Structure 1
Amino acid sequence: MYPLALFAIFLAVLALIWLSRGGNKAPSKGLTPPTRKKAKKIASLPPFVQANKLYYQQLLLKRKELPRYCLASSAIKTTRNLNETQKEFLYQELKKVPLPSGAAMRLSEMLRDPFVDSKEVAALASSDPVVSARLLAVVNSAYFRPASGKKVNSIHRAILLLGFNQVRNLLFQLVLEHAVNRYSPLSKEEIRKIWLHSAAVSVAAGELAKRQEEHPGLVLTAGLMHDIGKFFLPFFKLEDEGSFLAHEMEEDTPPLLREENQTGFNHALIGGVLCYVWRLPKEIMQAVSYHHFGHFDRLKNLSLRMRRVITTVAVADYICHLLRYADEDPYLYEIPKEALAECGFPDQVEFLITPELEKEIEKMVALLKEYSFQ
């Protein structure tokens, strides 16, 4: 009896020791480490992301819904890849799209000087009824209306309230709208979609520049201009397939390369040449030409400032596609981590988005829908 009792006690002690050590190690192997890893990963997230986990989870889910493309290993066409015949052909075709030289263009150039007299700007703006009407409409909109709620009737006060950067962008858009509406073969709806996307990118880029404590003027204009080549891609279409933007996307083929298959060029290349034809500042031409750079090495010959501007526009473009402010079916281009790091941006672009940024984009798009494309 005693030996059996002792043996039973011995087995019970062994069982308790086995249970205290976690029992069978195999389940522990499958469950415990991932749980610890997940906890560590959550702890490493920025505090504002941890505080708004649901918001960022929804953004990451949106990302999963969209096709993603990497251009790092793609041979993207630039003016460097074109032979002299192709360059001359492109240049001569785009010379047929002149940029108007009216008051809006002169004002836009004048506002490049941060020390220009606001009264001189107001005097020139007042000489053009279209410019005056747009400025007053915008400054009295819900987006910009002063806290007092009083209607603004003075062009000079409108310019002071809006600020030179915003005024310059609005004027430049007026100039571009004129050229696009007159010469682009796209439908009004296609033109409208591209403008709304471009305006959204401009706002997002400007907000990101402020976080970097950079002057937002250049990125605002670069964001507005980044897709200017899309308006004129159909000039070079190799065959007629109906609406240019309303086509189905081939699986795994980046849209930029599909443009090259259809036209021999891409919108970034055409946009860069347009900037040259229009004699716009070199910085704008570089930003338009390289906003789909794909690989960080493609920016190595540019200044640090320009690399940051181009990356900021690329990130703003990514954000607007993710938030569905796109001119066609939205998609995402991966942005090299080296470029993000150089701007002080996180590897996860989604973490740059905030509810406040979404509201700024939404308000500007609503404003343009109301006061543009008349």
Structure 2
Amino acid sequence: MSPTLEDIIKKSEELPALPKVVHKALALIDDPDSTLESISSLISRDPVLTFRVLKLANSAYYGYSRKIATIQEAVLILGLAAVKNLLLTVSVYKIMNKKVAGYILEKGELWKHSMVSALIARQLAQRFSCCDPEKAFMAALTHDIGKIVMNHYIAPQLKEVIAVSERERIPFQKAEEMILGFNHAQVGGGIARQWNLPEELVEAIQFHHEPLSAQINPKLTAITHVADVTCMSMGVGLGGDGLLYPIEEQALQLLQLAPADIENLIAEVVDSIQENEEMLMVN
């Protein structure tokens, strides 16, 4: 019997999850009664995590002129939302920077697609004031986390999905639904909920191929969708998805974006990628 969506999400508990210190730190950041000192102290107890967070905090991406030397400085200077993203970035890197054969992605390709999508989402949110830039970054960074779990547990079935997608010329997630009864975005939403991510992020991940289904924060889901498809159009992490699904016109309308805005953004993002190599190579 083929596994159900619930089976796959349950199985995902066996995979490497977010480190305990990251779980605790994310909970502290979301706790209005916590202090900057308690958050900084908790993160600083993990030397490897501290090193990676500070490496990214000092990258060109954040553009801070003076060197950030401690976690407490990072929290004070960059803000809690940015530090939350840094924690998630260094944690997700370990999970996603691997070969994902079921989606025809070599090692590093899924990570690069996720990271570039996150850069696009953040830039869109900043420029057009569509939604919170740090939330946009986090949603786009994790939007394809379901692919890791699908690849790990049902790789043989994904070969049939690839064949159907290529033969019928339909988007990969539609072929997943035809063969499996669910898609990687739905699996990703389930994983995000297990990680106790906010429901608006769960929704953005779950509906990044169906942005019009979002109800909690439609703009966040729309920007995640637009960032994903834009990244694909740049040729970053195509894999089995290819270019078989366009940007939803209504998602652009919701964000008050024109196709020309996306074209201009692509040129800027290419420069941004070159400036932000540190974000692509976390270790």
> Could you tell me the TM-score, scaled by structure 2's length?
0.80
- Counterparts of 2:134 and 2:59, CA distance in 1: 22
Which of 11, 22, 38 is the aligned partner of 1:120? 38
Is residue 2:81 matched to residue 1:165? yes
User: Does structure 1 retain, via aligned residues, the 8 Å contact 2:144–2:185?
Assistant: yes
The total of aligned residue pairs comes to 276
Superposition deviation, residue 310 in structure 1: 0.8
Superposition deviation, residue 212 in structure 1: 3.5
Superposed CA offset, 1:216-258 (max 9, x none): 232121111100011111212345859x99x994462212223
User: Does structure 2 retain, via aligned residues, the 8 Å contact 1:230–1:267?
Assistant: yes
The aligned residue for residue 340 of structure 1 is: 252
Question: Per the alignment, in what secondary structure is the counterpart of residue 331 of structure 1?
Answer: coil
Of 214-223 and 259-268, deviating more is: 259-268
Which of 271, 279, 282 is the aligned partner of 1:368? 279
Question: Per the alignment, in what secondary structure is the counterpart of residue 4 of structure 2?
Answer: helix
After superposition, the Cα gap between the structure-2 partners of 1:178 and 1:117, relative to the gap in structure 1 and judged at 3 Å, is: same
User: Does structure 1 retain, via aligned residues, the 8 Å contact 2:97–2:108?
Assistant: no
After superposition, the Cα gap between the structure-2 partners of 1:269 and 1:240, relative to the gap in structure 1 and judged at 3 Å, is: closer
Question: Per the alignment, in what secondary structure is the counterpart of residue 281 of structure 2?
Answer: helix
The aligned residue for residue 136 of structure 2 is: 219
User: Does structure 2 retain, via aligned residues, the 8 Å contact 1:185–1:231?
Assistant: no
For 2:197, the aligned partner's letter is L
- Counterparts of 2:122 and 2:61, CA distance in 1: 16
After superposition, the Cα gap between the structure-2 partners of 1:142 and 1:287, relative to the gap in structure 1 and judged at 3 Å, is: closer
- Counterparts of 1:114 and 1:361, CA distance in 2: 35
Which blocks of at least 5 consecutive residues in structure 1 are unaligned? 1-84
> Could you tell me the TM-score, scaled by structure 1's length?
0.63
Question: Per the alignment, in what secondary structure is the counterpart of residue 15 of structure 2?
Answer: coil
- Counterparts of 1:164 and 1:349, CA distance in 2: 30
After superposition, the Cα gap between the structure-2 partners of 1:222 and 1:239, relative to the gap in structure 1 and judged at 3 Å, is: closer
For 2:258, the aligned partner's letter is P
Cα root mean square deviation, aligned = 3.5
After superposition, the Cα gap between the structure-2 partners of 1:342 and 1:368, relative to the gap in structure 1 and judged at 3 Å, is: closer
Superposed CA offset, 1:125-174 (max 9, x none): 211111111122223344446435xx443222233344333321121123
Alignment of 1:247-262 (within 5 A): 249-250=166-167, 252-260=169-177
Superposition deviation, residue 185 in structure 1: 8.5
User: Does structure 2 retain, via aligned residues, the 8 Å contact 1:340–1:346?
Assistant: yes
- Counterparts of 1:316 and 1:262, CA distance in 2: 27
Of 271-280 and 122-131, deviating more is: 271-280
The aligned residue for residue 275 of structure 1 is: 192
After superposition, the Cα gap between the structure-2 partners of 1:143 and 1:281, relative to the gap in structure 1 and judged at 3 Å, is: closer
For 2:282, the aligned partner's letter is Y
For 1:259, the aligned partner's letter is E
The aligned residue for residue 228 of structure 2 is: 317
Is residue 2:28 matched to residue 1:110? yes
Larger Rg: 1
Alignment of 1:33-52 (within 5 A): none
User: Does structure 2 retain, via aligned residues, the 8 Å contact 1:238–1:263?
Assistant: no
- Counterparts of 2:85 and 2:36, CA distance in 1: 16
Superposed CA offset, 1:193-231 (max 9, x none): 111111111111111112333322321211111000111
After superposition, the Cα gap between the structure-2 partners of 1:86 and 1:217, relative to the gap in structure 1 and judged at 3 Å, is: same
For 2:173, the aligned partner's letter is L
- Superposition misfits of 4+ residues, deviation over 6 angstroms: 184-187
After superposition, the Cα gap between the structure-2 partners of 1:358 and 1:322, relative to the gap in structure 1 and judged at 3 Å, is: same
Which blocks of at least 5 consecutive residues in structure 2 are unaligned? none
User: Does structure 2 retain, via aligned residues, the 8 Å contact 1:206–1:216?
Assistant: yes
After superposition, the Cα gap between the structure-2 partners of 1:315 and 1:113, relative to the gap in structure 1 and judged at 3 Å, is: farther
User: Does structure 1 retain, via aligned residues, the 8 Å contact 2:114–2:143?
Assistant: yes
Is residue 2:131 matched to residue 1:206? no
User: Does structure 2 retain, via aligned residues, the 8 Å contact 1:345–1:352?
Assistant: no
Superposed CA offset, 1:303-325 (max 9, x none): 4xx11111111111122112222
- Counterparts of 1:335 and 1:145, CA distance in 2: 31
Superposition deviation, residue 274 in structure 1: 1.5
Superposition deviation, residue 186 in structure 1: 7.5
The aligned residue for residue 10 of structure 2 is: 92
Is residue 2:68 matched to residue 1:156? no
After superposition, the Cα gap between the structure-2 partners of 1:278 and 1:139, relative to the gap in structure 1 and judged at 3 Å, is: closer
Superposed CA offset, 1:62-119 (max 9, x none): xxxxxxxxxxxxxxxxxxxxxxx83442343233336345222222233335885433
Which of 304, 307, 320 is the aligned partner of 2:218? 307
